[in-house]
Structure formats: structure tokens, C-alpha cells
Amino acid sequence: MSDRHRISLADALVMVQRARKSPPTMVNGWSIDGSIIREILAQPGAASLRAYLASTDQGVATLVFLAVDTDGRDMADGVIADYTLPCPPWCDPESPFIKP
């Protein structure tokens, strides 16, 4: 299931640079499958998770996730993930974070 979230380093860099060059359309939040987060954190040397603001081909804000080692360095040669589900449309309508 986590394979659908995997992206290459090259794709991740393009997405992050795209967001820095042209501000993406912001969303309320994102959802990502827990299995890819567990896979990222299970890598040898992974101490934490970092997320970078990125932008899809359609200009919608997304996040790129990767592991960080104990020295605070990005593990860019490891598993990198995206393909988050933006809210909207994938929202919890009962969430206190969505209700006005």
C-alpha cells in the first residue's frame, strides 16, 4: 500500500522547487497512509520525519516526507513520499479543524 506514496528524489526536488517559485493553492490539511510513514521511520538511522512544502503539477500544495538522521540531516537517499490526500476534498466533516 505504501508504494503508491513513493516518489523519487528527482520528483521530490521538482515539487519542492515548484512550490518555492510559485506559491501553491493552499488546502486545509492532508492525509497520508500510515504505512509509508512507518516505512520511512523504520529505515536504519532514521530518528525523525521531515516534511517539505511542495506543489503538484496542478499547483496544489502538498507535502514531501523523508527521514532525518540523529544529526538532523535529511536522508535524501532513502524512502521519500508524497501523494497526500488534500482536504478538501478528503476531509473529516466532523473534525474541529474543519468546522468554522
Average pLDDT per block of 10 residues along the chain, 100 residues long: 78 94 91 94 98 94 96 97 90 85
The 10 Å CB-count burial string (b at 16+, else e) for 4-32 is ebebeeeebbebbebbeeeebeebebbeb
Burial state string for 36-57 with b = 16 or more CB within 10 A and e = fewer than 16: bbebbeeeeebeeeeebebbbe
Q: Say what the pLDDT of residue 92 is.
A: 92
Q: Tell me what pLDDT residue 17 has.
A: 95
- The pLDDT, as a whole number, for residue 1 is 41
